[in-house]
Structure 1
């Protein structure tokens, strides 16, 4: 488990910690004693400033932790954000699709139509973007299957140049 330094979403860290400790059947007292071992840097400094005997339970410690580091919580991302992702000059189709897919993972409740529109919108001019614009491809699977062909062409052309 990664140590928490105070710069990322505290809910993720707390959730990971709880999952591991509850799986091990840890008591409330063990949770309170083990939690500081998962902290580093600013988070350790914060913990060290807690007055002695000021934590009455792990739920209490969790609330204090979340309150202190709540500014770091992840901001929700929305589908229109995908329209800003563009295939860069010199970027392979494979790398663009991989980068685009990673961006999609950070967006909850993402309609398929928004993914298709964002992916196609971000393509640079070329044979794949022309191919996609000429056909109505209704599913991501169809687009990915078509993209595989163009990725193979791209990779083969690099081998022989």
Structure 2
């Protein structure tokens, strides 16, 4: 059975709640069991919060979820906008591998980014050079295409350095 990572205020409370609900609903767990089982996914201050709830004051998991979110909403991680991607630039001394890692980390924090935007933002941030020229020459359509070409290019670079 898959497990939900414990919530200790270091992560997004909405994400934690949705992960828990998804796991419980997939297993067909009734509402009252969900209310009791939720405690097993809490640590530290969140566990203390749960233990201080007035007994029998919550009837449904929906109520428990609403109270949990309203109490820990300050820990909610807001998604970044696409504009953040457009500001990522490969530094002069930065290897391509490092730039890709930074770019992908930021791209994962953006919900609405489609492939065309990702490709445009990625190529926009590359410093001028042979790789950028090769991308413009063959115009990749998807981020998968870009990453495939990046990998090939880095392998050649590594081979030449060796």
TM-score class normalised by the smaller sequence: 0.7 to 0.9
The runs of 5 or more residues in structure 1 that have no matched partner are none
Q: Tell me the C-alpha RMSD between the 2 structures.
A: 2.2
Task: Show the counterpart of 2:39.
Answer: 36
Q: Distance in 2 between the 1:94 and 1:108 partners? A: 23
Relative to the length of structure 1, the TM-score reads: 0.83
Deviation at 1:27, TM superposition (A): 1.9
Q: Distance in 2 between the 1:144 and 1:37 partners? A: 40
Task: Show the counterpart of 2:15.
Answer: 12
Residue correspondence of structure 1 range 1-161 to structure 2 within 5 A: 1-133=4-136, 135=137, 137-140=139-142, 141-158=144-161, 160=162
Q: 1:9 to 1:77 in 2, by over 3 A?
A: same
Q: Distance in 1 between the 2:16 and 2:39 partners? A: 12
Relative to the length of structure 2, the TM-score reads: 0.82
Q: Distance in 2 between the 1:65 and 1:136 partners? A: 51
User: Size of the alignment, in residue pairs?
Assistant: 158
The runs of 5 or more residues in structure 2 that have no matched partner are none
